[in-house]
A and B are shown apart, each in its own frame.
Chain A
Amino acid sequence: MLGLNNRDTRFFLIVIALTLFTPFLLQPFPEGSAMAQFNAGYPDLMQRFAIYGIFAIGFNILLGLTGYLSFGHAAFLGVGSYSAVWMFKLLSLNVIPGIILAVIVSGIFALIIGYISLRRSGIYFSILTLAFAQMSFNLAYSVLTPITNGETGLQIRLNDPRILDGEGASQYTNLFGLDMSSSFKLAMGDYVFTFNAGYYFCAIIAIAAFYLSLRIFRSPFGLMLRAVKSNQHRMNYTGLNTRPYTLAAFVISGMYAGLAGGLLAAMDPLAGAERMQWTASGEVVLMTILGGTGTLMGPILGAGFIKYFENIFSKINDNILHAWFSALPDGLEGFLVTIIHPFVGKGWHLTLGLVFMLVVIFLPGGLVEGGQRIKTMFSRKKNSDAASDVKPAE
């Protein structure tokens, strides 16, 4: 189906199903129960899963296939956000033109930065991309204030021209009249499921983005990129100019980032310079590595993992901890709360840093490799012959 072999088709269908049923899957606990705080099925977070999933998928095309570690990808995300918001201000609050412009502008941006940065490789490439991103960030904060609105951030106003919108047009970002923020709530007994228009819009784009990356991974172009990763010198010695291939990968991943930025703006029409800061670039690196570099599913898992913990883990405070352990004797309860306290709530970055370090040290293939190891462990017990030809489930 769609030019995929059977295995990939099955895999792709699973991804589609998971994405479409996310509002159910992320709401495993009934409303009002003690575990309800672990529910992640609210629109804002689900949108972020999809958007950062796109960002990480795109980043993985560069890092996973060519091995070039960019520390400046957030710049493209920021550029995408700014161009989308400008489209909302000038043309229409319909999200389509904004997102198209976001992809185009970030693509041009990536072409320029990539053309210069890809002249070097290894750590120098990382530093060059970092330098470009920091330059964009600093400029967005200072001189480019007329375009970026500096520290306040760019936002839509009631008196924007919006030449395509008629008199009675919606005042919110919409898709041909369907507001991105509109939701349909489905109550089933104790469970409440929220189906949000914005999430499904992002999800469909994310599925398309995933499909594209799947095709790139399986294409001759993807094979060429892998060859660049494993031995660029040898490729050069065979008389092949690798630069156009790496540049294409860089631009594609930049456009993915721009798409993610445009979607962020479409969900919440606001663009700030802090989206371009190098810590934001570091975040996408974390997502990709944590999930598994060079695997198809890894970046999405990583993005979901980080965004989930950022939103859910950081909400756990001392009261909740005390409530959890209230069944235990007082001394033990206090002790456990003291131990766990630094790792949750405001300290969730500490957990993130520790998990990330552990993954880099023990599981260089990320969560996907972890899953495979567990799988191999079990299948080896059943059938020792089968274990030898387990292929990586990308």
Chain B
Amino acid sequence: MDAILLQTLNGLDKGAAYALIALGLTLIFGTLGVVNFAHGALFMIGSFCAVTLQRLLSISYTTIDPEKTDFLGNPAKIETPYIEGWFGPEIGAAIIDWSVPLAIIFAIPIMVTLGFIMERGLIKHFYNRPHADQILVTFGLAIVLQEIIKYYFGANPIPTPAPTAFKGSLDIGVMIGFDPNAIIYPIWRLIYFVFSLIVIGGIFAFLRFTTFGMVVRAGMADRETVGLLGINIDKRFTIMFGIAAAVAGLAGVMYTPINSPNYEFGMEFLVLSFVVVVVGGMGSLPGAVMAGFLLGILGSFASMNEVKQIFPGIDQIIIYLVAIIILLVRPRGLMGRKGVMEE
């Protein structure tokens, strides 16, 4: 029992990342009808927003302390981040420590702007081109974005730690009545999961309960009619693209403590997220979220030793295998609407 619970928990953080990226992909596909292969790159850029903020905050000035000497006997140089100079050492250190959560605020405007530029500058011209062209041009864009990041940040993964308060693990088993040490779970992963639930809930509430969301949903159902009613649906769809970019970016920001980002970070997630979208059903938002968590958890169950003994290598292929089976027996995905991209 505790093993099952543990594997479910383990699958949640990966599943949450899949769900967030797949949600953005589906938003873009549902509104603009565009298959965005650059979405993984947006996730990656989000994670590098966290890296950048951490670096910006840690910019230091050097002072020479004549009292102390370093191991060579020279006067010691002390690096003090400017931020500690401005806010005092304690608050300054705390700000640097909390740079990953703070990067959320930093990343939102960047990602939204990037989304706007992408949509207006490139994607707009591809509405009426075949899906293959959209895949290809966004694939090219993904390469370009990756290479730009690689140029400035290098090819190696950059460790970006979580705040000290959230490091370490939580013994969840004890809280719900299991033996101690049966279910140990890193705190930050739990936070990632909760964060993703908040974001997903926020998106759904936004679409459900605001007038703007209502118009967008109407546009997803029948773009032409909404346009004929005198509503500038293109503008709203552009905003939705910005939001989808921000969701991918936030997923990236919060994922940095779990996995150090490098420039190829997004591509691994992109391939899996596409599988997630297809399994969930093209254009279905709840489907994308559900399939994301489902595949994340399935993946973690498949990597249990007991399962691996029966089916060697199953952990490597389970997600693709599920996708193939679902595509063959239920072409429109788990929760896809009838008639949407069934062919």
Contacts and interface: CB of A to CB of B under 8 A. Distances in A.
Interface of A: 67, 69, 116, 119-124, 126-128, 130-132, 134-135, 138-139, 141-144, 278-279, 282, 285, 289, 342, 346-347, 349-350, 352-354, 356-357, 360-361, 364
Contact of B316 (A119, A142, A356): A142
A342 B146 CA distance: 13
Contacts of B122: 357, 361
Contacts of B146: 349, 353
Interface residues of B, number: 39
Contacts of B141: 353, 357
B125 interface: yes
B67 interface: no
A127 B136 contact: no
A282 B139 contact: yes
20 contacts: A69-B135, A116-B328, A120-B328, A120-B331, A122-B131, A123-B35, A130-B275, A131-B320, A139-B313, A139-B317, A142-B313, A282-B139, A347-B150, A350-B151, A353-B141, A353-B143, A353-B144, A356-B139, A356-B140, A357-B144
B148 A130 contact: no
B37 to A, nearest CB: 10
A69 B35 CA distance: 14
Contacts of A120: 327-328, 331, 343
Contacts, number: 109
Contacts of A116: 324, 328
A356 B147 CA distance: 14
Contacts of B331: 120, 124
Interface in B97-152: 122, 125, 131-133, 135-137, 139-144, 146-148, 150-151
B316 A360 contact: no
A132 B317 CA distance: 9
B274 A127 contact: yes
A127 B341 contact: no
Interface of B: 35, 122, 125, 131-133, 135-137, 139-144, 146-148, 150-151, 267, 271, 274-275, 278, 282, 312-313, 316-317, 320-321, 323-324, 327-328, 331, 341, 343
Contacts of A139: 313, 316-317
B327 A357 contact: no
Contacts of B35: 123
Contact of B133 (A121, A131, A132, A360): A360
Contacts of A132: 320, 324
Given A127-B327, A131-B275, A349 B343 contact: no
B35 to A, nearest CB: 6
Contacts of B142: 353
Nearest to A138: B316
Contact of B320 (A135, A346, A356): A135
Given A122-B343, A289-B136, A349 B143 contact: yes
A278 B144 contact: no
A121 B139 CA distance: 20
B339 to A, nearest CB: 14
A364 B35 CA distance: 17
A119 B330 CA distance: 12
A143 to B, nearest CB: 3
Contacts of B324: 116, 128, 131-132
Contacts of B282: 123
A280 to B, nearest CB: 13
A69 B267 CA distance: 19
Given A116-B324, A134-B320, A364 B144 contact: no
